Every structure is written in C-alpha cells, then in structure tokens.
Amino acid sequence: MFDHFPPSAEAKLDRETLIDVQINLQAFFINLIGVFDNWAWSFVHLHQLEADVGGRLNVDMFKSRTQRLLPQALQEHLSSETMTRWHSEYLKNYRDALAHRIPLYIPPATLTPTEQERYNALEARRIGLIQQHQWQQLGEMIAEQDAIGRPCFAFLHSFSEDEALRPILIHPQMLSDASTVVEFGNLFLAHWRERA
C-alpha cells in the first residue's frame, strides 16, 4: 500500500494501480478482522469452550459470550471505550460492507467544485460523442477527464449518504489498525492461557 500509493503522492493513480491498491486495502482489512477471530478461536479451542460460548456463531472476540470467559485483563481492554468505539463505529461497519455490500474503495480523484463542473461538462460531451460514434474525439475527451483532480487519500464503502458514510484516511488508519493489533496481540499472548 505505502509503496504503490505513498502519502506523498501528488499524481492520481492510474486505473491498474488504483485497483491493485484497493485489493490490498481489502486484504488488509479482512485480515484485520481475521486476526481477532483467530485469537478468539485459539482461546476457545485451548480451553475447550465452544459449548460454553453457545456454539460456533458466538466465537468472536467482540461478542459478550466469548468475552465473559476471557481473563480480566483482556475483558477490560476489549470493553474500554477506545476498543468498543473502534469496533462498533469502524471495524464492524466496514467489515460488514466488505463482506456483504460494497467493498472498500478509493475514489479515483478529489475534485474542487470548479473541477467537478468541468468534469460533468466533459461527461455530457462524452456521452454525445459515444452516441455519434466519434471514437477518436472520445479518446481525447477521456484523456482530458483523466487529467482533472488530485489523488484521494481516503476510502469508503458506500455511494449512499443514507449509510452515515464517513471517508477514512487510508494511511493513518492502517497505521492505527496495525498498532491496535500489536497492542492487543501482546496483551492476548501474555494472558491467553488464563481464564476468567
């Protein structure tokens, strides 16, 4: 991610690189979820607790049926305001979108209002060129549209404003997520052989 799309990038990503970066973002995110699932399953298997949590569907580091069986230090960490907000407002929402709705995506560009007007005008002309089969001019129009804007350093999961859409800055969020994994991972490894 940081090699293909560094925070210092000044030019928009070409289509192929943008797709590659989005694939890596989605892989990062699903593995972010997966590491917490793996820790929950490791704990449940080590202590033979699958029946105690109420079956496979309740094995989840963020579900109370698993959390109540964890050692006190892990329960306190997971129930802290920081972790509960991180999980409820970000992790679960974006995980559900990735798994069931629109995958995480990075808009191809950010545009000023003036650039947006120009882009929309070109788009209207572009549709006319397609209808008139003006293929050479269409290629020039696409190149002109592609030159508008700057890179977008945020990711989203919806086109709808009804879903409380909130763009997330890619690079700081990935660093924060990695830090969260390391912090919880160290705590988990220090206490996972204990039980509540």
DSSP label at residue 162: G
The ranges assigned to domains in the chain are 15-106+171-191
Where are any strands of DSSP class E within the chain?
154-155, 168-169
Q: Which of 103, 119, 104, 100 is nearest to 12 (CA)?
A: 119
**Residue 53: how many other CB atoms lie within 10 Å:** 21
How do residues 84-98 score in pLDDT, each as one tens digit? 999 998 898 888 888
If pLDDT is split at 50, 70 and 90, which confidence band does 151 have? very high
- d(CA 82, CA 61) in angstroms, rounded, equals 15
For 73-90, what is the mean pLDDT?
95
Angle at 79 between CA 73 and CA 83, to 5 degrees: 105
pLDDT above 90 for 75: yes
Q: What count of residues does the chain have?
A: 196
Report residue 152 as tokens. 């977008």
Report residue 92 as tokens. 């679960």
Confidence at residue 112, expressed as pLDDT on a 0 to 100 scale: 94
For 95-117, what is the mean pLDDT?
88
For 146-171, what is the mean pLDDT?
81
Q: 108-115: long-range contacts at Cβ-Cβ below 8 A with a sequence spacing of 24 or more? A: 108/12, 108/13, 108/15, 108/18, 108/149, 108/152, 109/12, 109/148, 109/149, 109/150, 109/151, 109/152, 110/149, 110/150, 110/151, 110/152, 111/148, 111/149, 115/148, 115/149
Angle at 103 between CA 99 and CA 108, to 5 degrees: 170
How do residues 34-60 score in pLDDT, each as one tens digit? 999 999 999 999 999 999 999 999 999
Q: Are strands 154-155 and 168-169 parallel, antiparallel or unpaired?
A: antiparallel
**What pTM value is reported for the model?**
0.84
Asked if residues 21 and 106 have their Cβ atoms less than 8 Å apart, the reply is yes
pLDDT above 90 for 76: yes
Report residue 23 as tokens. 């694939």
